Structure 1
Amino acid sequence: MAAAAVLAWLSPDLATADPVDDARLLAADGDAADWLLPGRDYGARRFSPLDSIDTSNVKRLVPKWIYQTGYAATFQTSPLVADGVMYLTAPFSHVMAIDAATGREIWRYEHKSTAKKLCCGPANRGAALGYGKVFVATVDARLVALDQKTGSPIWDRPLATAGGDERSEDRGALGQGEGALKGEVSGATGVGANSAPLVFDGKAIVGVTGVGYGLHLDSPRPGAPLGAVVGVAGRFGRPGFIAAYDAASGQEVWRFDATRPDWEGEFAERTAYGVPLHRDVAAEKAAAPDHKDAWKTGGGSIWHAPALDPERGLLFFGIGNPSPQAAGESRPGDNLHTSSLVALDARTGRLVWAYQQTPHDLWGYDVASPPSLFDVEIDGKKIAAVGQASKLGWYFVHDRETGKLLFKSEPYSPQSNMFRPPTSEGIEIAPGVAGGVNWSPASIDQSAGVAYLAAMHWPATYRARTLPAADGKPEVRYFSIEPATSGMYGLLTAIDLKSGGTLKWQTRTPEPLIGGVLATAGGLVFSGEGDGDFSAFDAKTGEKLWAFNAGAGVNAPPIAYRIGDKDYVAVAAGGSQIWGFRQGGAVIAFGLPD
């Protein structure tokens, strides 16, 4: 049987589907059946208009199929659905197309990594569709275009050289006998890519990760969360960047670097929203002449797919912490534009505005959760806004055109000792390096004016350490961030965007919430936990209405789609090594009984 005939037999929709072109992507918000973009629409609102699964019948929800990828590792994919076919990425950047009604595999692409060592683990957060191709950014910092019908590679382009000339922190230089630093290295400064690309105007847009990652040390206890993050003063890594690539050829069209020669900024003593930073600005300015080139290894990873305003031609995304992580003395200044929300001209990559949430970041406060686009009304005037769920514990809402802060929410996670520098004795800070909201995508119900967030309380102890010069080796200054091992919990949160960011409700969960949320027109909010529970909550009250235990951590963003007259909710269940959640390799689709 010919290949085309096999595909038609397996999935008629794949063989006869309409092309996913610019017109279809621009209209994605009005396509209730499919999930064509990483955030469902260019505004990255992750809100499904499907309503047949609602508060009255969600208790009847059952698994309709389970697909096993064959890889039990940190699983963070957000699947795409087009014309009855689901496209998903597995750990290590493998890609699969499956029948979205049955879970049967149609094709599989096995990625062959060229990296000798991964900077940031095997996780991948999703693919992109467009122009007859499936695009995936890979753990070894490549962008690959696959044939949408067959999964065959069309082109494969390097984003950067993974494991190349970049210098990484050295575990051997640290205090081997210190209890908090005994774990094996599971990650270090490097370069890779794990976020989904965004397809627009004939281009695939994607950023790199790992460039400000620091040294990650596993806990010596199996199944426990990360033992410590270590930053060493010095020069490690390279600037992060986001770039656009021609979808037909893979050639780079434009690039925006996260750090530049003017990155020292104004040496701000307070954040742009008025919170003291407790910086020794005089000491930083005195050291600045010796660190003029620090921006060349300045970090600033891109951890998510951008949001896009096609009408204004603006691209919105967050940038991660500077490099070296936690060790600020070798990078004086504000370290622009790390730990910032940024708007670019989507066609040229030109900077339009940037809003730095944390100048001179010592705490790992990446702007890691994808921003979302919506309208707000202030003083009777409708304003096109962009919102972002921060690791700081506030939801920031900005004017989309100017970047002006319109408001920030009430805190949605506990805050203590914020922006206090590390000490030799150690100081406990909340939110810690895990954040209030980590990379987890939010969901926005535009009509109700509510943002739903997967947040957490997970404090960490920050310490400054010095290894004295000895045996001909110079003094080493390093900083450890040690997440708490008890007392952590999750906070599913609803924020009222109509009232300037008050909290409508919060539901506390036993496990910290990592992975994101899905809100639907059925009045439901779906989210998962590391213990394997995948749950549905009442969008008006936060009451838990239904739960299913998947057997592995549900630490990925759910999606919703329709085939014929049947609605589905699907999510990856594969846990996360870094958080100590049980790993697996399943995607599960739920629906009402036939």
Structure 2
Amino acid sequence: MSTESALGFPNDGEWPAYGRDPGGARHSPLTQIDRDNVSRLQNVWTFHTGDISDGRNHPTPSNFEATPLYLFGTLYLSTGFDRVIALDPDTGAQRWAFDPKINLDVRRPGGLTSRGVAAWEDIWAPAHAPCRRRIFLATLDARLIALDALTGKLCTDFADGGTASVKGGLDDLEAGHFGMTSPPAVVNGVVIVGSSVVDGVGVAVPKGLVHAFDARTGAAKWTWDPIPRRPSDPGYDAWSPKDAARTRAANVWTVIAVDAKRDLVFLPTSSPAPDYYGGLRKGPGPHADSIVALRASTGKFVWAYQLVHHNLWDYDIAAPPALTVVRHHGRKVPAIAAAGKTGFLFVLDRETGVPLFPVEERPVPASDLPGEEAYATQPFPIATPNLVGDTTIPPASAFGLTPGDVAACARLIAEARSEGIFTPVSRRGSIQFPGPVGGVNWGGMAIDEARGLLITAVNRLPDLVRAIPRDEAYVPFPGEAFYEQTGTPYRVGRRVPVGPELGLPCTQPPFGKLVAVDLGTGRIRWEVPVGRLPGTEQIPGAERWGSATLGGPIVTDGGLAFIAGTMDDAIRAFDIDTGKELWKAPLPAGGQATPMTYRSPHGKQFVIIAAGGSTFLGRPPSDALVAFALPD
């Protein structure tokens, strides 16, 4: 096995990073499973982690959303309890497990979630030295832990007995409001971790600091704050000093991409706090809601490109960016693709951050809330249409299967502000389309560079968001989520607008789809509905509606795109050239995760998916890791 496998150059059969390669393309060269035989895939083993919470045994439900790694001849995964488990890749038998013993009695608004671990190999260490091969875990209680990949024991030469604290620079840290849910990034011997900061609670939340550590010693190397707080910080001139000093969050909670050759790390940042009111953080708000490139070795700022100005819609950059090479004006250009909850896809020059396809600033609706100043324009890519489709929802377009639902949805839309994408929050309620589930959420994208194709799942669900003055009583609507937004003049309620009779969304289907974009032209090559809403099995045509999806696709040289994540508890394979569904298999629970594929030491190709359900999508929790392969 190549000693470079954990450093970013995977062998054909490996999956050594969350996105397989550190740039996050999620492309496997394996061909044993292809378009001709994928219909024969069958479940060959299922592993149960035992880590499951339905909100009764512990106050917070669990979400098993991990994408396992495969390298060093072993599968590695993390659970919602932050346990790390190593499995035999052929049988799914457990080899070892490590428990960091997080406090499961702490209430965590984002759920008990861990989307995976990271790996690194110290090629300068003796061949059989303990911890030459390491697994890194970033925990919900803000620790970075280094484990021996062979035994699962702590690497005692790393930081403090194997554990580095990621609380440095954070004051007034409240348990459950800050932690890590995504795997670290590892580049050239540096481990980089972002953080998850709770949404909607108010202005005074933790800072969204990004921390970097030496992979061998655990020594802190650098820290970067997405909010420029000093006059010498790039972007500071676009902030008022008072706003910059008090604004928090803008954290990096999703997966980080890296370019080891260029010593670059690409950070997808999120909204400054709080999500739905910006009167205390006026202006565009760099470098929030941006792709930010830093030197991996030093943390020095290189460039930033903002996808959303002055975020008022929870349109944070949830999807991990993906590195690729595109042909542009007759030459090959190293690029980075970034997709947003907005449904917009941006393709940027990896070295400069300059868009490779035209983007124009267009006027968007103004706010009618006293104290709020919505930014006057937003960036709109021109070559690639919005992946959601038309983001305007006139009352005449209201969806429903009964006259009562159509009339109720039309009335709801007519009574709200509904002026297309970027309609700000209002007191009477505003239609937000797409809503905060996307567009493109944390499932992200997969890239087949040889075909010049980008594949992504797109959600098409609206939200109805209303501002409630703090001196008014809050009377909730059915199904409405509530955000206190302490420190601002307004609390917020948000819900998916649905018809009162059948409970179907008020927008026209499909509610979720799989989309392929040609990276040479920016045009959409094909799009197909994906998934099915539960409870619609007896409705003719409902199989063409699709469903919301949390979890992303992967692509293989077998000509396939695999994806789960839908609300009908299934995993599917599609023809990457046409979008035709070729295979579907039931799962024991919702597969709200991103699958992976690998070739085991015995030469068999497997496709693996965590079927852990989703509290966000209302799918019951589970603890199943399901493996598929061709019959012998």
TM-score, normalised by the number of residues in structure 2: 0.77
**RMSD, aligned CA:** 2.5
Give me the whole-angstrom Cα distance separating, in 2, the residues matched to 1:475 and 1:578.
Answer: 26
Q: Is the 8 A contact 1:88 1:126 kept in 2?
A: yes
Superposition pairs for residues 422-501 of structure 1, below 5 Å?
Answer: 422-468=425-471, 476-485=489-498, 486-487=504-505, 489-501=511-523
Per-residue deviation, 1:112: 1.3
Show structure 1 runs of 5+ residues with no match: 1-17, 169-187, 216-231, 269-287
1:507 matched to which residue of 2? 529
One of 95, 99, 104 as aligned partner of 2:84: 95
1:413 matched to which residue of 2? 388
Matched, 1:521 2:496: no
Per-residue deviation, 1:484: 3.8
Per-residue deviation, 1:161: 7.3
The 1:378–1:264 alpha-carbon spacing in structure 2 relative to 1, beyond 3 Å, is closer
Per-residue deviation, 1:335: 1.9
- Partner amino acid for 1:165? D
2:115 matched to which residue of 1? 125
Show structure 2 runs of 5+ residues with no match: 53-61, 122-132, 156-161, 358-380, 393-419, 474-485, 499-503, 533-546
Q: Is the 8 A contact 2:115 2:183 kept in 1?
A: yes
Per-residue deviation, 1:294: 4.6
- Partner amino acid for 2:493? S
Give me the whole-angstrom Cα distance separating, in 1, the residues matched to 2:431 and 2:487.
Answer: 29
- Relative to structure 2, which stretch is displaced further, 495-504 or 100-109? 495-504
2:163 matched to which residue of 1? 156
TM-score, normalised by the number of residues in structure 1: 0.82
Q: Is the 8 A contact 1:461 1:483 kept in 2?
A: yes
1:25 matched to which residue of 2? 6
One of 173, 189, 206 as aligned partner of 1:238: 206
SS of residue matched to 1:91: coil
Per-residue deviation, 1:330: 1.8
Give identity over the alignment, percent: 35
| Deviation per residue, 1:450-487 (Å, 9 max, x gap) | 001011111101211102289xx999422233234532
Q: Is the 8 A contact 1:530 1:552 kept in 2?
A: no
| Deviation per residue, 1:418-459 (Å, 9 max, x gap) | 112111110111111111011113110000000010111111
The 1:535–1:241 alpha-carbon spacing in structure 2 relative to 1, beyond 3 Å, is same
Per-residue deviation, 1:267: 10
Q: Is the 8 A contact 2:7 2:188 kept in 1?
A: no
Per-residue deviation, 1:304: 2.5
| Deviation per residue, 1:202-230 (Å, 9 max, x gap) | 2211111115x224xxxxxxxxxxxxxxx
Give me the whole-angstrom Cα distance separating, in 1, the residues matched to 2:574 and 2:528.
Answer: 11
1:194 matched to which residue of 2? 181
Q: Is the 8 A contact 2:531 2:567 kept in 1?
A: no
Give me the whole-angstrom Cα distance separating, in 1, the residues matched to 2:470 and 2:237.
Answer: 28
1:552 matched to which residue of 2? 589
Per-residue deviation, 1:54: 0.8
Matched, 1:542 2:579: yes
One of 615, 621, 627 as aligned partner of 1:577: 615
Give me the whole-angstrom Cα distance separating, in 2, the residues matched to 1:364 and 1:447.
Answer: 34
- Partner amino acid for 1:303? W
SS of residue matched to 2:5: helix
- Relative to structure 2, which stretch is displaced further, 487-496 or 533-542? 487-496
- Partner amino acid for 1:88? L
Per-residue deviation, 1:405: 1.0
One of 64, 68, 72 as aligned partner of 2:48: 68
Q: Is the 8 A contact 1:28 1:35 kept in 2?
A: no
Give me the whole-angstrom Cα distance separating, in 2, the residues matched to 1:328 and 1:157.
Answer: 34
If each structure's strand is expressed as a fraction of its own residues, which one has the higher value? Answer: 1
Give me the whole-angstrom Cα distance separating, in 2, the residues matched to 1:334 and 1:124.
Answer: 31
| Deviation per residue, 1:119-161 (Å, 9 max, x gap) | 5221101001113211000111111111211112221121117
SS of residue matched to 2:608: strand
Give me the whole-angstrom Cα distance separating, in 2, the residues matched to 1:252 and 1:93.
Answer: 22
1:253 matched to which residue of 2? 221
1:567 matched to which residue of 2? 605
Per-residue deviation, 1:500: 2.2
- Partner amino acid for 1:47? H
SS of residue matched to 1:244: strand
Per-residue deviation, 1:26: 4.4
Matched, 1:81 2:70: yes
Superposition pairs for residues 321-360 of structure 1, below 5 Å?
Answer: 321-360=271-310
The 1:162–1:568 alpha-carbon spacing in structure 2 relative to 1, beyond 3 Å, is farther
2:127 matched to which residue of 1? none
SS of residue matched to 1:540: coil
Kindly tell me the number of residue pairs found equivalent between the two proteins: 513
The 1:567–1:517 alpha-carbon spacing in structure 2 relative to 1, beyond 3 Å, is same
One of 555, 567, 587 as aligned partner of 1:530: 567
